[in-house]
Amino acid sequence: VHIDDQRTLVAGWRQRDRIDFDIPIVADLPDRTKYEVGLRLIDNSQELTTWHWSPVDSDLRARGQIELTKPRIWTPQDPYRYSIEVALRRIGTTELIDKLQVQAAIRTITAEGDMLLLNGMPFVVRGVSNWGYAPPRLAPSIDKKWMRGEIEQAQSMGFNMIKFCLW
């Protein structure tokens, strides 16, 4: 029994000030509904919310939401993402069977005519393509400092979006 981390969905909704989740479980058990999935928000290893537990249904999924009283909105100037711990346990126990960490941001992206809106404000996309060429290698560098430098250089040139091609 484990959490299907490839199909886990955790999404922030600015219009609703909440984070929704849909967590699939992989199991070959007759008593499928005897498990529950919990989520909690953390920031720098500090707990922002207590655990929110939802039962696993007969489709082997746990669904629900975490309401946020004062959500921190993602912007290009403050690209904050919530860290979310996801855990699986048998109902009535405290022992965790599986656990993973995911991230979600609170923002809205909509279109009005030919205008793109980010959090209700006009957003002009200024994008650049980065092939990841890092001499003397053919593949991208895995050095975080080098990669951060690539992003900062693009930002200093006025770009607000990057397509990483070989990454």
pLDDT in tens, 49-58: 889 999 998 8
Mean pLDDT of 104-119: 92
pLDDT of residue 34: 87
Identify which of 28, 27, 47 has the alpha carbon closest to the alpha carbon of residue 39. 47
- Its pTM surpasses 0.85: no
- Compute the distance between CA of residue 130 and CA of residue 61 in angstroms, rounded to an integer: 38
pLDDT in tens, 63-109: 988 888 888 999 988 989 999 999 999 999 999 999 999 999 999 99
Mean pLDDT of 132-149: 76
Burial label, 70 (beta-carbon count in 10 A; 0-12, 13-18, 19+): exposed
Contact of 10 with 104, CB cutoff 8 Å = yes
pLDDT of residue 93: 92
- Compute the distance between CA of residue 165 and CA of residue 113 in angstroms, rounded to an integer: 29
Contact of 88 with 35, CB cutoff 8 Å = yes
Mean model confidence pLDDT for the chain: 87
CB proximity list for 158: less than 8 A, separation 6 or greater: 126
